[in-house]
């Protein structure tokens, strides 16, 4: 007898796997940057890319990965409570892109490079804008906020590359309810 999994069960497994990816890859990347390249004025993060993919797959559930990514980034950097607040709440600003994703639909991201470029850039920009706003509210100097934002510029390219690659893979950058229905209809 074959046991079928519910959509909620499938979603739980899927979200857990992406959460593990955020924790492992973000920790490795940030620790490597802090330990091996401490004088470099750049930082790379997988959090916007994973948040973007999960947003397409499950919508607002991406908030988990955005916030978790902020906590992991801060922990790996050895930051204080202010950085936790800045990164967790600031990363949650990625949800501002959700209405646009819903308007476009996930299929739009498979139509070419420009929709992927726009979507990827908006995810990174919204997170940076969120962190900048929280930083300014918390009294961080505008020069420091600008420096933090500029350090993250390579993340744009990294996010674009990951989202573009996932758009080329069957079922990865696809609404998962649609994907499961499509799979169940295939012979």
**CATH fold for the domain made of 7-185:** Arp2/3 complex 21 kDa subunit ARPC3 (1.10.1760)
pLDDT tens-digit series, residues 126-174 = 999 999 999 999 999 999 999 888 888 889 999 999 999 999 999 999 9
Q: What gap in Å lies between CA 58 and CA 176, rounded to an integer? A: 7
pLDDT tens-digit series, residues 103-133 = 999 989 888 889 999 999 999 999 999 999 9
DSSP state of 54: H
**Burial state string for 36-48 with b = 16 or more CB within 10 A and e = fewer than 16:** eeeeeeebbbbbb
Q: What gap in Å lies between CA 39 and CA 28, rounded to an integer? A: 18
pLDDT at 2: 54
Q: Are 162 and 155 in contact (CB under 8 A)?
A: no
Helices vs. strands in the chain: H and E counts, helices first: 9, 0
pLDDT tens-digit series, residues 62-95 = 999 999 999 999 999 999 999 999 999 999 999 9
Q: What does the domain layout of the chain look like in residue ranges?
A: 7-185
């Amino acid at each position: 007898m074959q046991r079928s999994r519910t959509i909620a069960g499938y979603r739980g497994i899927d979200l857990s796997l992406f959460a593990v990816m955020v924790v492992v890859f973000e920790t490795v990347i940030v620790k490597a940057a802090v330990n091996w390249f401490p004088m470099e004025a750049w930082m790379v993060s997988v959090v916007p890319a994973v948040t973007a993919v999960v947003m397409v797959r499950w919508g607002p559930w991406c908030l988990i990965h955005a916030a978790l990514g902020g906590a992991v980034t801060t922990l790996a950097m050895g930051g204080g409570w202010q950085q936790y607040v800045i990164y967790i709440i600031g990363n949650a600003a990625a949800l501002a892109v959700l209405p646009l994703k819903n308007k476009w639909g996930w299929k739009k991201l498979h139509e070419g490079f420009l929709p992927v470029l726009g979507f990827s850039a908006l995810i990174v920009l919204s997170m940076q804008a969120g962190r900048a706003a929280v930083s300014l509210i918390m009294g961080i100097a505008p020069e420091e906020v600008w420096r933090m934002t500029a350090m993250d510029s390579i993340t744009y390219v990294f996010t674009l590359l990951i989202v573009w690659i996932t758009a080329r893979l069957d079922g990865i950058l696809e609404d998962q309810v649609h994907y499961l229905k499509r799979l169940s209809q295939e012979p």
